[in-house]
Structure 1
């Protein structure tokens, strides 16, 4: 299994292979204009192609704080990426009203993605926020307008579940929060079984813990079917666009009766895959007046 990541080091863009080990040096290769998304579309020997790029540098373990990891394959312009997802996809959430195709939502463009350590912004008017530990599918749209699956990673789809519960037609508003994403792109099929733990800290100490289970095996829907339906719409298929699709979550801290607050720190340990995401939730300031009337 190949794992690919991108980062910035000393003001230059690099990529690396494998999950970096704690306390181990990082081996990075300069991108030098290489388009990793296009390379992955060739479906050739990706390992060999990447290892053929010369100029690897080594970052000592003690200097890794000078490296900034990036969301996988994130384009230079945020408008060339779309972040979206499906709601209530898991078997534990199925009820009599479950539709044949799950509800889809748009979280935003590429600039809503945050890696571990960055703040997750939510509207100041949020009713009740919750974390959602999810698999994130990554697609690159080729020159023929065909979206091609290139790999997956893991993320936190921060959601104002309180607003959705208050008005079920407000799903689109409930999802307009930042999303955390791991920088590691796993170049294989979406995992069937993922387990992990959520820890929420407040004022420097843990205030809620819980377990989660996700993966293709936990879905009520066939993944190929719902993705084929979504990616059949021409409006989504601009050549070169990268899609990050969150495929739904297990129960969250909200379902456990917990109320998240501004400045809470949320850590998702995807223990089955050795991936950790940790972010602080921050309420964004109210937007400036955007009324359409005359003064």
Structure 2
């Protein structure tokens, strides 16, 4: 089952369920967050709960998309309680681009990125039920940085670049007893500034503090072992970049369970009622192909199991160069 949300004429979120090609309103005024928290507390499966509520009128999701009414598939009433995070160097082949960005002048030296990737290959899929090696981890922001499908991904005026990262994300709520509960999986654009990152790998944390987008639809249930998708960039009527991407555990150096463990092992991220969107990494970047996205370009990420493609235009915020200093007011 695929679940999504759109904004009604009255402004509230309406949950939509889809099986195959047909999509229907779920007979409820509750948001997907409300439904997920109910299930996290009661132990009822989300798909079963949705079906028990019943399905109503048929919905044209493509029309709602064109009208700009689709919402992120899972939100929190207070965006400060939604956390956007991710892991990198988790996919087979993902280290080569990163290593090239930060290559040593000494050919015999192994980059830190390659070392981290090799650690994942050797210890990211433990067979004994214990935790494996830690992945690279990064923070993107709160729900204030989560952009709806179809809405612009805004690159700040001080940014050096704005580039897509086609990924899969896990979406979670924290149950009243502090247990993380996975709602489902979705495609994501983990939008980043690769030019800033390339200057020095210690700038990666800065490069990730950008908006991102997820959805439009959540896959409720198990993640396919291998996911094949396509990432493209449209400039007007022309496709300037198109490349397949692979995800799912068959194409990863870590298990999903290991990545989830190393995020939720921190009690900070197990606060009842919070929402988490955790992105699992990628091995495909247009930046690696020498593409420099421009204002108005549209990123498009799609993978068949996840329903509608995720589309977001790029918008560079205007601002002076060089970057003016932020003034802080003393009390």
TM-score (norm 1): 0.87
Greater percentage in strand: 1
Query: How far apart are residue 249 of structure 1 and its match?
Result: 0.7
> Residues 239-277 of structure 1: CA distance to partner in whole angstroms, max 9, x if unpaired?
100100000012211111212222211111224544311
Change (3 A) 1:250 1:289: same
In structure 2, stretches of 5+ residues that fail to align are 96-113, 120-132
Distance 1:288 1:264 in 2: 27
Secondary structure of the residue aligned to 1:238 is: coil
Query: Aligned partners of 2:325, 2:19: CA distance in 1, in Å?
Result: 45
Show the counterpart of 2:44: 44
- 2:212 aligns to what? 179
**Residues 129-208 of structure 1: matches in 2 within 5 Å?**
129-208=162-241
Give the CA deviation at 1:158: 0.8
Distance 2:25 2:302 in 1: 24
> 2:328 & 2:214 partners in 1: Cα distance?
35
2:28 is aligned with 1:30: yes
Structure-to-structure mapping, 1:16-165, within 5 angstroms: 16-18=16-18, 21=21, 26-32=24-30, 35-41=34-40, 42-53=42-53, 56-59=56-59, 64=64, 68-94=69-95, 95-98=114-117, 99=119, 100-165=133-198
Q: Secondary structure at the match of 1:291?
A: coil
CA distance 1:52–1:93, shift in 2 (3 Å): closer
The 1:67–1:53 alpha-carbon spacing in structure 2 relative to 1, beyond 3 Å, is farther
Distance 1:147 1:292, change over 3 A: same
Q: Counting helix residues as a fraction of each chain, which structure ranks higher?
A: 2
Counterpart residue number, 2:108: none
Between 220-229 and 53-62, the greater mean CA deviation after superposition? 53-62
Residues 7-37 of structure 1 deviation map (CA, whole Å, 9 limit, x = unaligned): 222213321211584xx67434332478112
CA distance in 1, matches of 2:61, 2:219: 23
Query: How far did residue 119 of structure 1 move?
Result: 0.3
- Structure 1's unaligned 5+ residue stretches are none
Q: Are the structure 2 counterparts of residues 17 and 168 from structure 1 closer, same or farther at C-alpha, using a change threshold of 3 Å?
A: same
Number of corresponding residues: 291
Q: 1:288 to 1:40 in 2, by over 3 A?
A: farther
CA RMSD, 1 decimal: 2.7
The SS at the match of 2:210 is coil
Q: Could you tell me how far apart the structure 2 residues matched to 1:118 and 1:33 are?
A: 20
Q: Distance in 1 between matches of 2:134 and 2:230?
A: 28
Asked if the contact 1:155/1:179 (under 8 Å) is kept, the reply is yes
1:54 deviates by 6.0
**How far apart are residue 74 of structure 1 and its match?**
0.7
| Counterpart-to-counterpart distance in 2, 1:17 and 1:61 | 11
Distance 1:284 1:20, change over 3 A: farther
Deviation at 1:279, TM superposition (A): 1.0
SS of 2:287's equivalent in the other structure is coil
Q: Which residue of 2 aligns with 1:291?
A: 327
